Amino acid sequence: MHSQKDLQNKLFQIDGKGYKAYKSIRGQYNFGDYILSIDSVQGDPFASPSKARVIVSQDKARFPQNLFDKSHKNIAVCDFLTRLFSKNINKYYDKVSGSGKSGLLTVDRPGQEILKRTSVVINENSVEARFEVGLPAAGRKILGKNANIIFSKALPKIVENTLFYNNIDTSALQKHVELAVDQNHLRNLLKEKGYIAFIANGSVLPRESGVSDKPLIKGAVPFKSPESLEVEFNLPNRGKIKGMAIPEGITLIVGGGYHGKSTLLRALERSVYDHIIGDGREYVATRENAVKIRAEDGRRVEKVNISPFINNLPNGQDTIRFSTENASGSTSQAANIIEALEIGTDLLLIDEDTCATNFMVRDKMMQQLVSKDKEPITPFINRVRDLYEKNGISTIIVVGSSGDYFDVADNVIMMDEYIPYDVTSRAKEIITKFKVNRSNTNNDFINESPRILLKSSFPRTSKGVKIRTKGLNTIMYNRTPIDLKYLEQLVDTSQTNCISVAIEYIQKNLVNDTMTITQIVNKIYEIIDEKGLDELSSFSGHPGNLALPRKHEMIGALNRFRHLNIK
């Protein structure tokens, strides 16, 4: 292994040379208290930044093992240190100048959610931080002295104040971990007690703006549960906490426009993840496998059994193995529900505003005008109780215009100026005044025809396969985009990065024309549980910018892939 002085000498020797001379600095360097590993070196200053790691042995880092001895605690520690590393870059590094990405020094940047990431890895032996650096150049001539400032002056300060337990705010780290323990306990209580969601009193649900996920500070109305739905939990660190618990079954969220219906649903869909201290949703929890459902005009659907909702199409199209390159609102929403059931869910989250109207309900007058044998759609209102009573799948629906849903609801919550009220009794009184004629349905939701993923789903060009991400919502498979913008519970670009490397792993190692698409996604998560997220990446150094998505977003990306071929 080389020394810190060796790296400095190399950088001085190649100063002013052509950029490719930077390749000579790849390798590991002993900085005394830590190891610097330069794993990949960019080809020019405009290319993707170089990747590097710092590794500190635990006999020097001294992080107590009881802080990271459980998975949810380990994730919290890594999240805390990732945020601290990023903060300390800004504190201790004055960016050096140069061409292209020269002088860039960055680590993965978490948002409001706490996710399993590859940016920091901690275990009983060591703590390791992975980052990217833009090696400095003027044009394409190496600025070796500037590079030395990054590695020998800025980086040691960042490492010293991030990866050594005695040098950081240990109280803040302890609180970060304690919150993770409480959130994990709260999620376990939900299932144990038969609830699908919980919103603590005092939670701040509104966000700062439409483009910011940070909490609204000025003018935000703290959440307060109606007495009839209020429960108390005892958490390991926070102690007693009260809030609104939503029982299993069918729950409607109603109210006037701009009174907080969609804000509440948005908080629930995001609370399949844990949130950081100060987010306002720290003690909001939803079943981890809850899926947001919406219409998605134009999406591709490949051999999905939508017959529980749609049958007898005029053109004779098969709805048991339904395929289309350009789904309508109703067929896309039906496919989204069936695909969610396929990977497994206890809870569907639906906002009427983003649904196909004809999929959700048909009122009495329309039933009189268009006879049942002329209408191929069995609306969701006719199926929602079957979903719960026969399959154990609950639904939370934001409803603004269709009172017909009062008849099938177990609970009705009205939002009035961001305060929830239990109006279930009043809604039931209203519905008794109207005769509801709703036909019974007997279709089974279980898709008995397994959807086998075929190798032909992953075409190769003469140059092989290139998969890359473009922001949060797009993955490019060669030149074919996979559009993820309607996977609304995908919250971090590093999750999108993870889906892209998983697709590469699937096409290289798993697809064999015998496994179903669900089996393949489940296998991916078995591999992650056993070997870690690093296992998915083909990069030999480190994949420092991956965050774990849920199975639902992983399979959602595959289902939207326009080359997908199912048997």
Q: Using the predicted structure, report yes or no on whether residue 361 has a pLDDT greater than 90.
A: no
Tell me how far apart the alpha carbons of residues 505 and 516 are, in angstroms, rounded to a whole number.
Answer: 16
pLDDT of residue 371 exceeding 80: no
Average pLDDT over residues 535-552: 86
Q: Which two tokens stand for residue 353?
A: 């505003």
pLDDT at 72: 97
Token pair in block for residue 561: 């892939």
Please, are residues 254 and 414 in contact by the beta-carbon 8 Å criterion?
yes
Report the candidate in 554, 566, 562, 565 with the shortest Cα–Cα distance to residue 343: 554
Q: Is the pLDDT of residue 320 over 60?
A: yes
**Predicted local distance difference test score (pLDDT) of residue 239:** 98
Residue 441, pLDDT above cutoff 70: no
CATH architecture of 247-449: 3-Layer(aba) Sandwich (3.40)
**Residue 400 confidence (pLDDT):** 86
* Mean pLDDT value across residues 28-39: 97
Are the C-beta atoms of 481 and 475 separated by less than 8 Å?
Answer: yes
Residue 439, pLDDT > 60, answer: no
Q: Name the residue ranges covered by the structural domains of the chain.
A: 2-168, 247-449, 455-559
* % of the chain surpassing 90 pLDDT: 87
Q: How far is CA 433 from CA 101, 153, 273, 403, in A?
A: 68, 77, 42, 12
Q: At 212, which amino acid appears?
A: S
Do the beta carbons of residue 233 and residue 239 sit within 8 Å?
no
Locate 444 and state its tokens: 């089974």
Region 196-202: mean pLDDT is 98
**What band does 422 get if pLDDT is binned at 50, 70 and 90?**
very high
Percent of the chain with pLDDT over 70: 95
**Both tokens of residue 188?**
């376990």
DSSP class per residue in 215-260: EP-TTPPPP---GGGEEEEEETTTEEEEEEEEESSEEEEE-STTSS
What pLDDT does residue 421 have? 98
Per the prediction, the chain carries an average pLDDT of 94
Q: Where would I find the H helices in 417-532?
A: 424-432, 493-505, 517-531
For strand 141-142 and strand 347-351, is the pairing parallel, antiparallel, or unpaired? unpaired
Structure tokens at 293: 């459902």
User: Is 211 a residue whose pLDDT tops 90?
Assistant: no
How far apart CA 146 and CA 531 sit, in angstroms, is: 38
Tokens standing for residue 168:
């950081």
Nearest-10 Cα torsion for 161, 164, 168, 170: 170
In the predicted model, is pLDDT for residue 491 greater than 90?
A: yes
Per-residue confidence band for 377, with pLDDT thresholds at 50, 70 and 90: confident
pLDDT tens string 503-543: 999 999 999 999 999 999 999 999 999 999 999 987 756 68
Band of residue 113 on the pLDDT scale cut at 50, 70, 90:
very high
pLDDT in tens, 163-184: 999 999 999 999 999 999 999 9
Decide: 45 and 102 in contact? Cβ < 8 Å.
yes
Q: How far is CA 391 from CA 344, 383, 388, 395, 411, in A?
A: 11, 11, 5, 12, 19
Q: Is 320 helix (H, G, I), strand (E, B) or coil?
A: coil
Q: Quick one: pLDDT at residue 366?
A: 60
| Strand pairing category for 105-106 and 50-57 | unpaired
Q: How far, rounded to the nearest angstrom, does the alpha carbon of residue 558 sit from its chain's CA centroid?
A: 15
Residue-wise pLDDT tens digits, 308-317: 999 888 777 8
Dist CA 297 CA 356 (whole Å): 9
